[in-house]
Amino acid sequence: MNTGGRLIAGSHNRNEFVLINADESARIRSVQELRGQTCEICKDEVELTVDGEPFVACNECAFPVCRPCYEYERREGNQACPQCKTRYKRLKGSPRVENDEEEDDIDDIDNEFDYMNNGGIGFDQVSEGMSVSRRHSGFPQSDLDSAPPGSQIPLLTYGDEDIEISSDRHALIVPPSLSGHSHKGHPASLSDPTIAAHPRPMVPQKDLAVYGYGSVAWKDRMEEWKRKQNEKLQVVKHEGDPDFEDGDDIPMMDEGRQPLSRKIPIKSSKINPYRMLIVLRLVILSLFFHYRILHPVKDAYALWLTSVICEIWFAVSWVLDQFPKWYPIERETYLDRLSLRYEKEGKPSELSPVDVFVSTVDPLKEPPLITANTVLSILAVDYPVDRVACYVSDDGAAMLTFEALSETAEFARKWVPFCKKYCIEPRAPEWYFCHKMDYLKNKVHPAFVRERRAMKRDYEEFKVKINALVATAQKVPEEGWTMQDGTPWPGNSTRDHPGMIQVFLGSDGVRDVENNELPRLVYVSREKRPGFDHHKKAGAMNSLIRVSGVLSNAPYLLNVDCDHYINNSKALREAMCFMMDPQSGKKICYVQFPQRFDGIDRHDRYSNRNVVFFDINMKGLDGLQGPIYVGTGCVFRRQALYGFDAPKKKKAPRKTCNCWPKWCFLCCGSRKNRKAKTAAADKKKKNREASKQIHALENIEEGRVTTTKGSNVELSTEAMQLKLEKKFGQSPVFVASARMENGGMARNASPACLLKEAIQVISCGYEDKTEWGKEIGWIYGSVTEDILTGFKMHSHGWRSVYCTPKLAAFKGSAPINLSDRLHQVLRWALGSVEIFLSRHCPIWYGYGGGLKWLERLSYINSVVYPWTSLPLIVYCSLPAICLLTGKFIVPEISNYASILFMALFASIAVTGVLEMQWGKVGIDDWWRNEQFWVIGGVSAHLFALFQGLLKVLAGVDTNFTVTSKAADDGEFSDLYLFKWTSLLIPPTTLLIINVIGIVVGISDAISNGYDSWGPLFGRLFFALWVVIHLYPFLKGLLGKQDRMPTIIVVWSILLASILTLLWVRVNPFVAKGGPILEICGLDCL
């Protein structure tokens, strides 16, 4: 710091320095009087106290604040002075607020300004002393009066001299007599020079005029001061996740320097009983199985053994599902702090760029209007336009999608400025205009109604254009489609076409109707040729990663399905509160948002909302290593998708003890140390093999590689390029972008060259002999690539975050009719079976990495649950068998057994109630989830299991097609739409045989008398449990006509008859020797 020979004073604890002018003739400046000052917050005049003195809120810096603003700041604000950040003390007449009781001293206005009563010096003496000093220093009194009101002197310089301020205006010097007996400096009023002052300077012989004088004008330099104050640093302890605490404090100042998010644990009054009940339920299960195993049913041994095996499997499944929910948490974000930190006034935005991926395949199954709404919601997102790029993957190479996207880009020029001007929510026009809501709420602009009507008319015209395109695309010409210039459409053959890239928005000259810049919009259709495995959605997403890496290379990626629009325009900012946090964001690989849906019936018959999973299971995983990736609504870190390991946590150096002599450890410790060193070296070697990508990049950036002999050999540019090309492919532009941790583009790269390189990276053979789909990008090997991709990232030591904003970030559509819903569940279960039978199965893969054991349990549960269909369908068949045969799986129940059964059922019910309590889930959603677990388990999961076994073991790819039959008109017409599929046969069969069993059991009890009703109760309860769980399935079969389709009845009766005849053949109702005739003892004659 250059002081220029002047004196520096200040406080080390508060990081404040005062520079005193001493190198030129001092100038006299008046100290601004407190009387008549204006409040810097509300601009009202600062009032006087009851004693007639000016009201002073802060005794440290006397920042002018009126009493109402002082009271409001203490009650609603930060309770601190806006200028010096000193906490406001409670003044006389002010009500108490939180934390006032912790202070030992309370300011007393009566004594604060009464210097005479405290043995000090009054204001008049101070004024006289300063007047005497001025007279002795030779400066005329007129200089004091003629001081300009706008004198600008900063009080604090924080160790650096402000070059914008002249050297004669650096500080305020107050005579020693001003302080009196108080340690708190306070600006005094210079009014009556009648009483002599008694100065007590440290150097009496030194003239006071040498130091100089000045005045402080707060209003003139307030904005400049606030700007510089935000740039100063104050150490504040980070309040974040314990996983992120590295022991280092981060520099912070005010609101903009505080953590961008915080973790909210579940209240102990809710979570502690929940955990205790889980432990109690384990004890009850142990006692239950002890009783079940030690008390077999000898006359129905096969039924008893089958039931015990099924119950043991259910218990294991419950453990896998329950314990990952041991540490549920919630999170809260601070969007205002994000803006204060990265969007400073007068400076360009420092928010990180984001590339958004939208994937679609068949425009006839995924309507272009839905895709257009998703794209429009992305383009209108509340984020800097130069930092958003939207990439639409058309994996079907359909000209309908291309033309619809062109129309969408044109309509976006009107829609985007309208949304941002009036803060529209949601920003998907279809859902904004169709929602029944008060669209005038919080709207004050007089032109809003007129512009909204015009925009709605423009959107209806846009819909007509899209519908016309869809109608035209229904009949494809024999020669194929042609483009506007007469050339054939490259994608006429969907399985044999070149790669296509078209930049619709974001190029020079394309702006909205208000001449503002628009986000980039890019159409991408990767190359497809016969004989290549294109890996479906995972391959399309990897193509988008490479294209975006060449064209924009944002450090963060958001992927959404074509039917999931952005419902909350601040969704990207919500994710950046986690990703861009300087401390906690370094180890986050992705931020997952919950899936919310529109267009679902009020009762959610088939549990389409999946609330239990998203509001209970995912919150539990967030307390461990993070939620699993669910395929959409997820913001990724690009470096994590590239297969790099998470940053390692720095461990504190181990403490050593020197109190024992070294020779004490020579005998017993040397061998142990050698073994420990060898084990550590082996572990380092394995870790080095596991994270070879990042080590390779480190060596390449340094330009060297270490040989086995330890010598550093300079690598040629060609060798380094070959090493990276082996991992990322043969594209020098993409390889260069992959090395940029914070994203960015290569300099001096022309758009034509970048497009040519982008076409190369989406070619068919680009991934050959690379690590794409194995260690990089979306992982291949399963139709549910989402689970596998998230599992790989967690295995590399990354963690994920679950973000649940109050306004849902994304909303989509879900199949609400029974057949489509089962088909969707079939695809998910098939992917889990494929992962279970692959080398990436979490049961045996990923050990030695950074995956936590409870997180591993959740991944094991996600790939094991389809196998539960086997014991489930057997267990649901047991009630009918017991009713038809008169046998039961439990012997005669004693009092002890009754207590065990009741305790088990009670623990199941109370566990569900407590989960609903801390997960904020309604009982209707919980019960629908339980019902559909049984429906999906006995249908879709069972078929997925056999289909997966055939595909993996025998190479037979079996598809279950769903065809439409009929539909009714109405708001939820799809709910009653029936589509034939073989998935409906098993649950229908279970329904029929259990209903038959109930009828036979009741008839048998009526014919046998009163004594048979007792044993019948257990069998009836068991059968009714199955029927009640399958009730939504029965309603789906009946549909709106209340009539079951004939084909379902025929197939189910046929299958039920076969099973019944088989059982009669194996274990008939009558004895094998024929009917036994006994003498009844009655004389019928």
List all residues 6 or more positions away from 963 whose beta carbon is below 8 Å from its beta carbon: 979, 980
Residues 6+ apart with CB under 8 A from 903: 284
Is 786 considered catalytic here? yes
CA distances from 8 to 2, 17, 165 (A): 11, 6, 16
Contacts of 481 (CB under 8 A, 6+ apart): 399, 488, 489, 492
- Give CA–CA dist 628/593, Å, rounded: 11
From 807, 866, 813, 872, select the one nearest 841 (Cα to Cα): 866
The answer to whether 199 touches 175, Cβ cutoff 8 Å, is yes
Give which of 1, 5, 59, 2 is closest to 34, Cα–Cα: 59
Rounded distance between C-alpha atoms, residue 953 and residue 935, angstroms: 27
Residue showing tokens 């080398």: 839
Residue 910's identity, in one-letter code, is: V
Given CA atoms 1077, 1079, 1083, 1085 in this order, what sign does their dihedral have?
A: positive
Sequence-ordered list of residues with C-beta below 8 angstroms from that of 221, at least 6 positions apart, any chain: 152, 154
Q: Given CA atoms 484, 487, 491, 497 in this order, what sign does their dihedral have?
A: negative
CA distance from start to end of the chain: 129
Confirm if 1015 and 888 have CB atoms less than 8 A apart. yes
Distance separating alpha carbons of residues 883 and 937, to the nearest angstrom? 23
Place of tokens 């009730």: 1031
Check 581, 786, 820, 925 and give the catalytic one.
786
Q: CA 33 to CA 62: how far, in whole Å?
A: 11
- Measured between alpha carbons, how far is 402 from 405 in angstroms, rounded to an integer? 5
Long-range contacts of 439-447 (CB under 8 A, 24+ apart): 445/421
- 395, 512, 604, 925: the catalytic one is 395
- Residue listed under structure tokens 């006032």: 100
- The angle subtended at Cα 995 by Cα 993 and Cα 997, nearest 5°, is 65
Can 336 be counted among the known catalytic residues? Answer: no
What are the start-end ranges of the E strands in 245-339? 250-252, 261-265, 329-333
CA-to-CA separations, 286 to 282, 311, 892, in angstroms, rounded: 6, 12, 20
Helices (H), 474-554: 536-551
For residue 590, give the H/E element and its range: strand 588-592
Whole-angstrom Cα Rg for the chain:
38
Please list the residues that pair with 591 across neighbouring strands: 635, 801
What is the DSSP code string of 697-762? HHHHHHTEEE-TTS-EEEPPHHHHHHHHHHHH-S-HHHHHHHT-TT----TT--HHHHHHHHHHHT
Q: Are 416 and 380 in contact (CB under 8 A)?
A: yes
Q: Kindly report the CA angle at 777 between 759 and 623, in degrees rounded to 5?
A: 150
| SS3 (DSSP) at 1034 | helix
Residue positions annotated with a catalytic role: 395, 786
